[in-house]
A and B are shown apart, each in its own frame.
Chain A
Amino acid sequence: MYRYDEFDRRFVDERVAEFRDQVERRLTGALNEAEFKPLRLMNGLYLQLHAYMLRVAIPYGTLNGRQMRMLAHIAETWDKGYGHFTTRQNIQYNWPKLKDVPDILEALATVEMHAIQTSGNCIRNITSDPFAGVAPEEIEDPRITAELLRQWSSLHPEFTYLGRKFKFAVTGSEHDRAAIKVHDIGIQIVRGEAGEVGYRVLVGGGMGRTPMIAKELRAFLPKADLLPYVEAILRVYNLHGRRDNKYKARIKILVHETGIDAFRDQVEREFATMDRAAVTAPEGEMERIAAYFAPPELTEKPSAPVAFERMKTLDPDFAQWVERNTSAHRVPGYVAATISLKPIGGVPGDATAEQMRAMADLAESYSVDEMRITHEQNVVLPHVALGDLYKVYRGLAAIGLEAPNKGLVTDIIACPGLDYCALATARSIPVAQAISKRFASNKRQREIGPLSIKISGCINACGHHHIGHIGILGLDKAGVENYQITLGGESTEDAALGQRLGPGFGYDELPDVIEKIVDIYLDLRQGRRETFLQTYRRVGMEPFKEALYATAD
């Protein structure tokens, strides 16, 4: 894991002191509310429906036990005892007091964490693959690149007052678990013709009210050119992105309106004329960062230890959990274990202080003191030996986090919606809870197979409904909540935007509607291996439409 050196430490300390001063100047009136707002946003502080919300950055979703304990401590000391892990691998606290925030930031700094640029019209937390450094097919750990970008984008003097928020995601594998095609800039680590490592750069993806799949800007960028190249992109965006309409201010609109080829010309022209050498990371910096991400030394172990196999036979629930919630590791005898934060009927992504501490314990004892937050709002223990897996499972069961539902119908992503968010037009958490309860049976979930449901409480799409296999968008229709359903969305390398099923449904109808959609799929699929998405892609929207709206005529 990356560790701060003296410079990183001073930077964050100075930033906390600056925010403390900003809060004071707000209280004396030197800063008015309009001026204070972007400043607090860039320190992670939002004003929600009932209270302030503080969003803390977890760079590329990686954290250690000590950091997780601090998150628990903050939840208990300054909030209501829990936190909410987000789709951008961060954590949010829903009830902090403004006056406490500088203290919270100071506490975070003691464990090398911060809330810098987790909000506001600036470059946000750089997200990445939760299986970075673990996945067998990976070319290079994407967190090295993400960390370089994190540093470069922190308080960038030129790019901190952008037209709109700006999100990067980086993947080191062909199989995309970082949803790079729905980010402002998506970076894929690839090999060039001579086998050298470089980047494929995508631009202009995003969700919100105008969802778009990112387009390829550069098929191959030499590694050393990364910083000047992204600087060129940001400069073109900052100068030419629309500022007249907040909803048209993302780079996806600029790329769309300019056309990808003309946009590329502008970027390449800037890249060609700028002083690249002045911007490039100096020799050795990438290597310095890379050293922190050197894979932990794990000794190879048997891939089917006897005790482990025996426990699977003795405890079928454990066997199910292993089958569903663990993923391949590049070292034989190890897996990455996903802790589902989606217990049946729970709030997706929420964890109590007690659960956070227990996860920290497990990470320290059994996963080289590392955890990852995923964009599906779960937690990963990346390096667990098979022989330790049962202990991990029992530990999770003790805190109610042993749901064997990774990637299944109850592994739902939901934004905060009307329960917290000032922009919401409908509830989203209770919808997730109701659907989760409806599909509570593990047997039934496994029968249904991989199926992602994603729920947003308004058109801003924080719940990523556009890329859910089933997407649910909560709207307000003459004062009544109305939910639009989309089908066929997908977030990985074959990313697609969901298509609208038809007129929306009422809040109370939702669990039935979702169940019906699932039943139609089960009916139509060709064999048990055909997933919901495959069936949908084969048969299209019609059968679903017919079944859902036919009776209404």
Chain B
Amino acid sequence: MPRLIDRLGPAEDIWTVLGAEDPLPSSGSVIVALERLDEALAAGLELGVHLPNDTDPERVKPHFDRLSLISVDFPSFTDGRGFSIGHCLRALGYEGRLRATGPVISDQFDFLLACGFDEVLLPDSVAERQPPEHWAAAEGRITLGYQRGLAGRGSILDARRTAGDG
């Protein structure tokens, strides 16, 4: 079962997650833990970083231009801190790939996209039960939301203005 899913469907994961003890490779795309970010930055790799969900998003801001991917940890789908972290990273100007890593569910897909995420990386236990069709069906299930200033779905508040003008 595909574990990486984005707006376009199942995707191939080109990233290698580096374990705490693993040596840095000489090439390729690696995701490192936050503690090893400085070390990895010096190595000149294509770099991603994995953030626990109690990380201050400001912490990685100085490295935005060197990071191609930020992965935010969702230890469980009910722990919603990652939604705010995603939003904050985008608000701080991060423009690279944003990944939600953990047992999130397809019913949260729109929310994740709205908070600036691009993709989800699921554990097998979730991926087995929630095939890509479920994620495709979930996207845009609620056509418009009431909030403004978010990525993804449009705002009813703005749509009303447009409808009013027409």
Contact A158:B149 (CB < 8 A) given known A31-B129, A39-B107, A288-B160:
no
A5–B157 Cα gap in the complex (Å)?
11
Chain B residues contacting A278 (CB-CB under 8 Å) are 148-149
Chain A residues contacting B108 (CB-CB under 8 Å) are 161
Q: Is B16 an interface residue (CB 8 A)?
A: no
Chain B residue nearest to A278 (CB atoms) is B149
Chain B residue nearest to A153 (CB atoms) is B146
A238–B83 Cα gap in the complex (Å)?
9
Chain A interfacial residues counted at CB < 8 A: 48
- Contact, CB under 8 Å: B129 / A157: no
Shortest beta-carbon distance, A106 to chain B, in Å? 16
> Quick one: which of B114, B160, B164 has the most chain A CB within 10 A?
B160
Contact A235:B84 (CB < 8 A) given known A32-B129, A281-B157, A285-B160:
yes
Chain A residue nearest to B55 (CB atoms) is A239
- Contact, CB under 8 Å: B77 / A161: yes
Contact A29:B129 (CB < 8 A) given known A22-B107, A160-B111:
yes
A280–B144 Cα gap in the complex (Å)?
17
- Contact, CB under 8 Å: B149 / A275: yes
Q: Is A155 an interface residue (CB 8 A)?
A: yes
> Quick one: which of A7, A11, A155, A158 has the most chain B CB within 10 A?
A158
Chain B residues contacting A160 (CB-CB under 8 Å) are 80, 83, 111
- Contact, CB under 8 Å: B81 / A238: yes
Contact A158:B129 (CB < 8 A) given known A239-B81, A239-B84, A279-B149:
no
Shortest beta-carbon distance, B70 to chain A, in Å? 16
- Contact, CB under 8 Å: B80 / A161: yes
- Contact, CB under 8 Å: A157 / B111: yes
Contact A15:B142 (CB < 8 A) given known A157-B111, A158-B87, A243-B81:
yes
Shortest beta-carbon distance, B103 to chain A, in Å? 9
> Quick one: which of A6, A7, A160 has the most chain B CB within 10 A?
A7
Chain A residue nearest to B74 (CB atoms) is A161
- Contact, CB under 8 Å: A158 / B156: no
Chain B residue nearest to A274 (CB atoms) is B91
- Contact, CB under 8 Å: B79 / A243: yes
Chain A residues contacting B26 (CB-CB under 8 Å) are none
A35–B149 Cα gap in the complex (Å)?
28
Shortest beta-carbon distance, A43 to chain B, in Å? 11
Q: Is B78 an interface residue (CB 8 A)?
A: yes
Chain B window 135-151, contacts with chain A (Cβ cutoff 8 Å), 1 for yes, 0 for no = 00100011111111110
- Contact, CB under 8 Å: A155 / B83: no
Chain B residues contacting A157 (CB-CB under 8 Å) are 83, 110-112, 114-115, 145, 147, 150, 152
A18–B107 Cα gap in the complex (Å)?
9
Q: Of the candidates B143, B146, B152, B160, which one forms a contact with A154 in the assembled complex, judged by CB atoms under 8 Å apart?
A: B146
A38–B80 Cα gap in the complex (Å)?
12
Contact A5:B78 (CB < 8 A) given known A30-B130, A157-B147, A158-B87:
no
Contact A152:B80 (CB < 8 A) given known A30-B129, A281-B157, A285-B160:
no
- Contact, CB under 8 Å: B146 / A151: yes
Q: Is B158 an interface residue (CB 8 A)?
A: yes
A284–B87 Cα gap in the complex (Å)?
27
- B18-62 at interface with A (beta carbon < 8 Å): none
Chain B residue nearest to A121 (CB atoms) is B78
- Contact, CB under 8 Å: A280 / B148: yes
- Contact, CB under 8 Å: A161 / B83: yes
Q: Is A282 an interface residue (CB 8 A)?
A: yes
A194–B156 Cα gap in the complex (Å)?
33
Q: Of the candidates A6, A38, A274, which one forms a contact with B78 in the assembled complex, judged by CB atoms under 8 Å apart?
A: A38
- A13-54 at interface with B (beta carbon < 8 Å): 14-15, 17-18, 21-22, 25, 29-32, 35, 38-39
Shortest beta-carbon distance, A337 to chain B, in Å? 34
Chain B residues contacting A5 (CB-CB under 8 Å) are 160
Contact A285:B107 (CB < 8 A) given known A155-B142, A161-B78, A161-B79:
no
- Contact, CB under 8 Å: B84 / A11: no
- Given contacts A7-B156, A11-B156, A158-B115, 5 further A-B pairs with CB under 8 A are A8-B156, A14-B143, A121-B78, A156-B146, A227-B148
A-B contact pairs, 30 of them (CB 8 A): A5-B160, A7-B159, A11-B146, A11-B156, A15-B142, A22-B107, A38-B77, A38-B78, A121-B80, A151-B146, A151-B157, A152-B147, A154-B145, A154-B146, A155-B142, A157-B115, A158-B83, A158-B114, A158-B150, A159-B80, A159-B83, A160-B111, A161-B78, A161-B79, A161-B83, A235-B87, A280-B148, A282-B148, A282-B157, A288-B160
